[in-house]
Amino acid sequence: MVKVLMVCLGNICRSPLAEGILKSKMSSENVIVDSAGTAAYHIGNLPDSRSIEIAKKHGIDITPQRARAFLVSDFKSFDYIFVMDRSNYNNIISLAENSSEIAKVKMILNELHAGDNLEVPDPYYGGNGGFENVYQLLDASCDIIAKKITN
């Protein structure tokens, strides 16, 4: 069983989509997928209504999800920790206790463009093509992640 954690800032826009998309591509017999935020503002909340809508448009229901904050214990619970941007990366890395924990943390778009450290834009304030753009970036990345995990 492979365990994957998707991380963004609020755990209401990007990482809930990443969680829902990867789950949709994999059998729950093979993988556990969860998501978390580096900030605590939205703990217990549903995903942002715009993320719920864009997921629904693509046939994915993310409404069972509730936001939670990243925990230091997640380093032990998960095999892969995919972050959306550099700020998430730096925040998570600062909590790691050793190099094997640091090695679990990856910028999710490096699955598509290895080594480029591209960011999934934060759609919360309405910039950079918004939620459909985020969906497409995460869908393409999760295709690759799903193939890697099943191989």
Where does this chain bind ligand 4NP (CB under 6 A)?
8-14, 41, 122, 124
Minimum CB–partner distance for residue 73 and ligand 4NP (Å): 21
SS3 at position 18: helix
H helices present in the chain, as ranges: 14-25, 49-57, 74-77, 86-93, 99-103, 130-150
Q: CA-CA distance, 99 to 113, in Å (whole number)? A: 23
CB closer to ligand 4NP, 24 vs 45: 45
Q: Which of 13, 10, 25, 26 is nearest to 62 (CA)?
A: 13
Asked if residues 69 and 36 have their Cβ atoms less than 8 Å apart, the reply is yes
Minimum CB–partner distance for residue 41 and ligand 4NP (Å): 5
Q: CA-CA distance, 81 to 104, in Å (whole number)? A: 6
Q: CA-CA distance, 11 to 15, in Å (whole number)? A: 6
Active site residue 8: yes
Minimum CB–partner distance for residue 37 and ligand 4NP (Å): 6
CB closer to ligand 4NP, 41 vs 93: 41
From the candidates 14, 50, 74, 85, give the one annotated as an active-site residue.
Answer: 14
Minimum CB–partner distance for residue 140 and ligand 4NP (Å): 17
CB closer to ligand 4NP, 13 vs 105: 13
CB closer to ligand 4NP, 43 vs 96: 43
Residue type, 115: G
Query: In the complex, which residue's CB is closest to ligand 4NP?
Result: 10
Q: CA-CA distance, 140 to 151, in Å (whole number)? A: 17
From the candidates 34, 48, 74, 122, give the one annotated as an active-site residue.
Answer: 122
As annotated, the active-site residues are 8, 14, 122
